[in-house]
Every structure is written in C-alpha cells, then in structure tokens.
Structure 1
C-alpha cells in the first residue's frame, strides 16, 4: 500500500502498478462513485507491457481510508491535493514523462486540471468515456443512468453559488442508483455538492480548448452513461485531440476490452516518442 500526505495531514492512498523497464509515469483517476480498484485491468495492462508505471490514487472523499466519504472541504480541493502529489512525483522521477488519464468523472477531473498550471506537468492526456459537464450534450436527455443520479436540489445550490452563497454546499446532490445487490461496499454512493462540483470543469468549452498536449479521447459506442456520439463534435476543433469511438463497448468496458486496451497502449507508445 502506498500513501502520500498533503499539507493538512490527510493521508491519500494510491495503488502502484510498476513497469520493469519504462520511465513513463501514468496517473489514472477514477470515476464518480468508485475508488481505484476497478481501474486494475487497464493499469495492469499498461504496466505489464512496460508502457508506463501506473498510479491510481483514491481522490479525497473516496476509498477505504477516507474519513469523510462523499465530501471535500471546498470545491477544487482535488486539484490542490494532486498538485502536492505530482510535485513529489516530479522529484522522485526526474527523468520521467508523465501521462494523466481519467475515466468518467476522472476525465472531468482531468479537464479541470487542464485549466491550471498543472497541465504543463504532463506530456499526454487520456480521456476514457469522460464526464464533460452535467450540462454538456454528452449527458443523455432521458432520465437514465447519470442523469437519474442527480438530485433536484442541484440547480438551486448552483444558483446560490452564483451569488457566492455556499452554506448549502455540504448537501447531497448526487446519489448513485446502483442496486444494493450489485454493490461491493467500497463505493461512494452519495456526493455533496462541493465534491460533485469538483469532478467536472466550470467552463467545459474552455477546458476543451485548453488541451494543448497530445490527447486521446476513447469511448464505447454502447456507453450507457453518456452519449458517445456527442464527443467528436465537442472536440473536433481541437487539433491536439484524437477521438475514437469503439463498437460494442459500454461505459466501464473501455477499461477492460482487449481491443480498447490495445488501442490505448499503442497510442501511448506511438505518441510519447513524439513529445
């Protein structure tokens, strides 16, 4: 088990998948309700083929070692946490090239980071069936999946925050609808507004425009959470982003399907030598 400690004394868990002969480091961020565990198929694939050593941190508010699950102290605290993590990694791996990847809301977190000075830390970005924004065209209009998990109080709390009123930011605005018989017990089912708002960019079109490093966006055509066909129109004007939508793969399948894993690994190997 691995931990890093931030300035407030919080100990953050991360899993490490070491590559034997690669200097590349990939940080892989989890989705909106899961912790690091479900990322194992992709992380193992990348590490075992010596493409990169992969680190899968549990973000604040997630995981077995989290004292306050489903909440953070303020919106954007994840960026501050990751900045301290990455600063330490840069000291430990001075000769390495860094890749930032994120699945689902992990992709949303990546887009948030693209608007900060942390973006210059990375050589490549990988968006895996990413959450773009709760109001983006990638969110289905039907009351299913991700949309059904959003509570009705979200809009009113957003309106209060527009007036700099934050007293309700600890209220639950997102509740995963995963059936109890399918839960494994380590999920973060309920999210406060301040945690939920930390998992996507404020101005998603600006965040997309700010992706100036080589970026792969890959998703499955059968994604049941987001509208996969909406990704390409959103990113088509950014020459740094390669969009790939694969047949017969769903939202989580993008992390374990053999064809998808092969494409991700090959893209990293082909692109990292050019940066």
Structure 2
C-alpha cells in the first residue's frame, strides 16, 4: 500500500509539473510577418474615418464603435460590421463607407479585446462578446432590418451568433471568408502562416476548463503575423478567453445545423488563409442550403479592400435586405 501511495504521489507531482511547464513555457511564438495581409491596408484613405463613439456594456465598460450614416435618404436598414482577427473597426472603413453609400445605417465595432474596447487581447470570460453585442443593440437600437456582417474571425463569431439562441437579434447574416474551425476542411495549417498557436498551453487550458478551472484563461495562446507597425495599433496576441470566444463554438457542425436565419457566404477564390473551395461542402454537409460565392482574383484581405469585392459584398447585403428575414 505504501509503495502504491508513493507511486500515486509521484504521478500527481509529475502531472502538476507538466501542467506548470505547459502554462509557463507552452505559449505561442511570434510568426514571421505576413506581408500580403499587412501591406494592403497602407493604400486605404483614412482621412474621412469617423471618430469613435461608445456604448455602455453590462459590466460598466464603455466599448467603441464607428458610425456611418447613410449618405442620402432614409436608411433602408442597418448593417453591423465585425472585423477580423487582430483587427479593429478602422480595418473595415472601406466596406463601411460602401454600405453607407448604398443607403444602410452602418456600424463598425471595436470588438472587446481590440482597438479602444477593453483590455487589448483579452476578455473576462468566454461568452462576454455575445453579451457585448446584445448590449450594443440595446443601447443603439439600429434600424431594422438588421444584417450582421463578419469578416474572417468576425465571420466566425457572426456564425456563433447565428447558431445560438440569440440568432434572432439580426434578420440576416453575411459571412466573409469566415473562420469555421481548425477541424473543418476550410482550414489551412497555421491559417496559411497567419497564426502561431501555443499548443501545449492551449491544450492544457482546455483540459483545465473541462475540470472547471479557468483561473489561467488570461494567458496568451495565439500570436498573429503582424509587422511591427501594425502590431502597435492592432492586437497581435489573444488570450485563451478571447481565442475561444471570437469564433464559432468547438462543435461547428452543431452550430451550422442550428442556424435558421437567412445567410450568405462570400470568399475570395485566392484566399491564402482558408481553402475557398471547401466552404460550400462544409455548409452542405451540415444540411444548410447557404449560397456560397467565390470571387475570382480576390485573396483574403482583398475581400474587404478591393473595389469589385466590396461592390459584390454590398450587393449580397442588399439581396438579403430585400429577401426573407429571421422570424422575430
């Protein structure tokens, strides 16, 4: 019995040491800057970028967004834009302006953990981003019908909303090259070089969370391939909490099957982050008849910066806006 007890003690100590080592040394490394992601934003004209506005969240925080009123006439509805991983509201400036010019009341959010919203790279708990989005709608009350448009990780988060009990917060969903899952056929290893994952720490934290231990969820687990200039203004590192929340839930198939509101997907044929040709099969496998459009000659960032791609996105928003709505 004594020998067995000693063995169990040694196993326990070894396990604790392994957990400690993974938490301390198992974080993400910084990947080489991905220039075809960083460089295109240098061409954007930000001289007419709206100033930040703020809304109150339930935890007392004031979270940031940019407001783009329709340039003429009465708003035909509203569009809420969600930026991609590491980004902020300014990265969607071109897309937001185009929607405003098309007659939509448009809002581009600094999602908590990014830009001027909260602590950069971190949130308090998984599920806080859903609470924030609900608080935004309650505070601002955007005109109906409402379309949620998410790009990349923002598209993944829009999908998370669309497959949840909160899906009726919006009438329509437009997903732009959305992150679906690292287990989905759309996934490229390391997202084509955009992401470095601290797997030892990530896996350890996931296991601890299953045991109800979330005290270490503020540790960083993802590092994005930003250059030095972009890293100073954007969000190069995500904590476990933020990484788990700004995406669909882990069972992405269940999320897809739970979506009931009108939805469309656009992706560039030359997307270097995801496999563009796999989006349609992913939705079909889940039994969802979601139109997927691939834009020729467009890569990942080009989807939100190229003039032709932006025109296609606005056209999809208009098509959703004049079609069926989610039942409220």
TM-score (norm 2): 0.77
Question: What residue number does 2:317 align with?
Answer: 268
Q: CA deviation at 1:239?
A: 4.5
Question: What residue number does 1:16 align with?
Answer: 67
Q: Residues of 1 paired with 2:161 and 2:319: CA distance?
A: 24
1:81 matched to 2:132: yes
Question: What residue number does 2:297 align with?
Answer: 248
The structure 2 residue matched to 1:53, chosen from 102, 105, 127, is: 105
Q: Relative to 1, partners in 2 of residues 1:67 and 1:46: Cα closer, same or farther, differing over 3 Å? A: closer
Q: Deviations over 1:124-148 (max 9, x none)?
A: 10000111123322221368424x4
Gaps of 5+ in 1: none
CA contact (8 A) 1:218 1:244 kept: yes
CA contact (8 A) 2:66 2:108 kept: yes
Q: CA deviation at 1:41?
A: 1.0
Q: CA deviation at 1:257?
A: 1.9
Gaps of 5+ in 2: 1-51
CA contact (8 A) 2:162 2:261 kept: no
Q: Residues of 2 paired with 1:6 and 1:228: CA distance?
A: 36
Q: Residues of 2 paired with 1:160 and 1:212: CA distance?
A: 33
Q: CA deviation at 1:226?
A: 1.3
RMSD: 1.8
Q: CA deviation at 1:23?
A: 3.2
Q: Deviations over 1:170-210 (max 9, x none)?
A: 11100112232x52621111110001101112221111122
CA contact (8 A) 2:150 2:157 kept: yes
- Aligned residue for 1:165, secondary structure, equals coil
1:29 matched to 2:82: yes
The structure in which a higher percent of residues are helix is: 2
Q: Residues of 1 paired with 2:185 and 2:198: CA distance?
A: 19
Q: Deviations over 1:242-274 (max 9, x none)?
A: 101111111111112222222222222233222
1:231 matched to 2:279: yes
- Aligned residue for 2:79, secondary structure, equals strand
Q: Residues of 2 paired with 1:173 and 1:24: CA distance?
A: 38
1:41 matched to 2:88: no
Q: CA deviation at 1:218?
A: 0.4
CA contact (8 A) 1:133 1:204 kept: yes
Q: Deviations over 1:210-246 (max 9, x none)?
A: 2222211001111111111211110125455110111
Question: What residue number does 2:43 align with?
Answer: none
Q: Residues of 1 paired with 2:109 and 2:69: CA distance?
A: 14
The structure 1 residue matched to 2:267, chosen from 219, 223, 226, is: 219
